Amino acid sequence: MKTTYGFGQHLMLDGYGCNRKKLMDMKLLYDFLDTYPSEMKMTKVMPPYVFSCESKNPENWGYSGFVIIAESHISIHTFPEKNYLSLDIFSCKTFDSQKAIQHVVELFEVKEKEIRVLDRGTEFPHNFIRAAEIVRIDRTAVSD
């Protein structure tokens, strides 16, 4: 899927039945966030940040990580006790969401998945001069 209009594409993937050991591997998470932007032909702005998240409920602990890219961000949250991960990739530059899904499914051995791909900012004016012209014409038509 590719963005057809708007500001950018947002891939949201929920993965179930993942490999627990991989969900607990901070180095694997870091390496994914460190290398995947270049695989998407995106520009990493800073090194990734991955940290452990504790919870009062022992089943809800896990790891969260993100990397800022010039085009927006990639984030991942893992819950090893539940064999679950959530991933977001948001970019103002079009990317191959099917390739990203396949990469994550293979890397974390995802058994079941929920996927959403959205066009964000559908009213975002890519051509400001043209957008202003359309608004002017629309306002003129309404006032007549």
pLDDT at 3 over 50: no
Total domains in the chain come to: 1
Q: Which two tokens stand for residue 130?
A: 């043209």
Is residue 38 among the annotated active site residues?
Answer: no
**Within a domain: 89:** yes
Domain with 107, as residue range(s), is 8-143
* Residue 30: both structure tokens together: 């870091």
HSE value, Cβ hemisphere, 13 Å, CA-based, for 13: 26
> 57-67 pLDDT, tens per residue?
878 899 999 99
The answer, yes or no, to whether residue 144 has pLDDT greater than 60, is: no
Residue 64 within a domain? yes
pLDDT tens-digit readout, 98-119: 999 999 999 999 999 999 988 7
Give the three-state DSSP class for 12.
strand
CATH number where 101 lies: 3.60.90.10
**72 carries an active-site annotation:** yes
- Evaluate if residue 2 carries a pLDDT over 60: no
- Does the annotation count 73 as an active-site position? no
Rg (CA), the chain: 19
> Which of 10, 72, 91, 97 is the catalytic position?
72
Residue 62 inside a domain? The answer is yes
pLDDT of residue 122: 63
Residue 1 lies in a domain: no
Can you tell me the distance from the alpha carbon of 113 to that of 111, in angstroms, rounded to the nearest whole number? 7
* pTM of the shown model: 0.78
Closest CA to 20 of 64, 94, 97, 80: 80
